[in-house]
Amino acid sequence: MTAKLLREKYTRKFVGLNKYSRASAWMLFSFYILQILASVGLGAMLLEIGFTLPSTLGMLALAVFIGTRMRGLNNIIHECSHASFSSDRADNARIGKLCAALLFNSFSDYRDEHLSHHAHLGDYDHDLDLQGIRDLKLHEPLSASVVFRHVVTPFLGRHLPYYLGLNMSARDGRRFQVMKFAILLAVVVFTALYPLTGLMFLVVPFVLVYSALNYWADCLDHAGIVSSGDDLTSSRNVIAPRLVRWLFFPRNDCFHLVHHLFPHVPARHLTATHDLLSKDAVYSAQPNAVRGPVEGAGDGLLFPAE
């Protein structure tokens, strides 16, 4: 039970790490929305230019970028489910429900499933997060053929039955259900009025890019090791340059091992928490941890003064 030993050693040190203030939390949430809207607007401008090689490449890049910003909203839901995003506990629920409505999801359902994932990692009978994607076989030991299968699965659309769905329930409250139907209607009307813009910069990012990123993230987090039986060895970090992390792993989502060891640590501190843990012989010995400091480690880290 090496994860238990690490928690006993470090949990107190990581208690009380600063979350975002209410103003900062709402501004950050709003910034993701603005990024998506601005990208849709820029995409519409590129469509007016026509399908030249530069404009086409720009449109493809924007579609991918919008998908990554949707992933960022999803990661805010994740933080809110742990009440680690905003310093105001009620705002975690409000922002989580807003993000979920924008992605046609339910914050309450997400929170229940995700907390079961932490409590029963890799147990298909009780881990509701992984239970729904059991047929995708993330538990299979990694080999060249298995890795290839995980890479190509989104390109073949085989992940869509598991990752593409609209949760239009009223579990988060009637007003959020109404909001989801209103957003869906707005997307349909917008796409009817501006077919190419709607399809390329709303539908494709959500249906193809966002769903693929969610699947690949699950693979990177747990594929091949989820059945190990210990939190220290059943998740992995993915260390990448800062720009790659910002784009494809928004909200420090690449430090999944750190998160499973210390789920109460706010995402803004995961980079520096990994850097500190890397000095520990038990943690640094794990190949899934990836030894050594990370570019940007310590940025925004606000450990309480000792």
Domain regions of the chain by residue span:
19-234
Beta bridge partners of 20: 86
pLDDT of residue 306: 34
- Exposed e or buried b for every residue in 114-124, given b needs 16+ CB within 10 A? bebbeebbbee
The predicted pLDDT at position 185 comes to: 98
Q: Tell me the average pLDDT of the chain.
A: 94
pLDDT by residue (tens digit) across 29-81?
A: 999 999 999 999 999 999 999 999 999 999 999 999 999 999 999 999 999 99
Decide if pLDDT at 111 tops 80: yes
Q: Give me the amino acid identity at 18.
A: N
The torsion defined by the Cα of 20, 23, 25 and 29, in degrees rounded to 10, comes to -160
Average pLDDT over residues 247-270: 96
pLDDT digits (tens, 9 = 90+) for 274-291: 999 999 999 999 999 986
- Has residue 299 got a pLDDT over 90? no
Phi and psi at 120, nearest 5°, equal: -135, 45
pLDDT of residue 2: 84
Q: Which helix (H) or strand (E) holds 53?
A: helix 53-81
Query: What is the reported pLDDT for 14?
Result: 93
% the chain with pLDDT above 90: 90
Contact by Cβ (8 Å): 272, 25: no
Taking only the tens place, the pLDDT of each residue in 159-212 is: 999 999 999 999 999 999 999 999 999 999 999 999 999 999 999 999 999 999
Structural tokens at position 43: 């995409």
Residue 295: predicted pLDDT: 58
